[in-house]
Amino acid sequence: MSIPAHLDPQVKEHAARVLAGMREFAASMIYAAVLTDDGFEVADYSDGRTDASRMASMSSSVQALSDAVARELRIGTAEYVIIASDQGHVLQRRVPGQPLVLAALFDTYETLGKAIAVSKMGAQRMAHSPASEPGPAPAPTAVPEPAPADPAPIVAAVPPRDETTPRSIYAPPVSASGW
Partner 1 sequence: MAEHVILFTGPMGAGKTTAIEKLSEIDVVRTEAANTERQVADKATTTVALDYGEIVLDDQDKVRLYGIPGQRRFDFMWTILKERAKGMVLLVHNDADDPIGRAVEYLDEFADLYAKGGVVIGITRIDIAPGPSVTDYAAALAVAHPDKIVPIYTVDPRQRDQMRTLLMTLVANIETRDMFVERVPQREELVAE
Enumerate binding residues for partner 1 (CB under 8 A): 1, 4-6, 36-40, 53-54, 57-58, 60-65, 67-68, 72, 99
CA distance 48 to 35: 17
What letter represents residue 156's amino acid? A
Q: How far is the CB of 106 from partner 1 (least distance, A)?
A: 22
Shortest gap between Cβ of 70 and partner 1 (angstroms)?
12
- 1 vs 156 by CB, closer to partner 1: 1
Q: Which stretches of 44-111 are DSSP H helices?
A: 52-73
Which is closer to partner 1, CB of 41 or CB of 110? 41
Q: Nearest distance from residue 94's CB to partner 1, in Å?
A: 10
Closest to partner 1 by CB, 13 or 67: 67
For residue 36, the minimal CB distance to partner 1 (Å) is 5
Q: Bridge-partner residues for 140, per DSSP?
A: none
Nearest to 61 by CA among 85, 90, 96: 90
Cα–Cα separations (whole angstroms), residue 64 to 1, 11, 68, 175: 24, 22, 6, 33
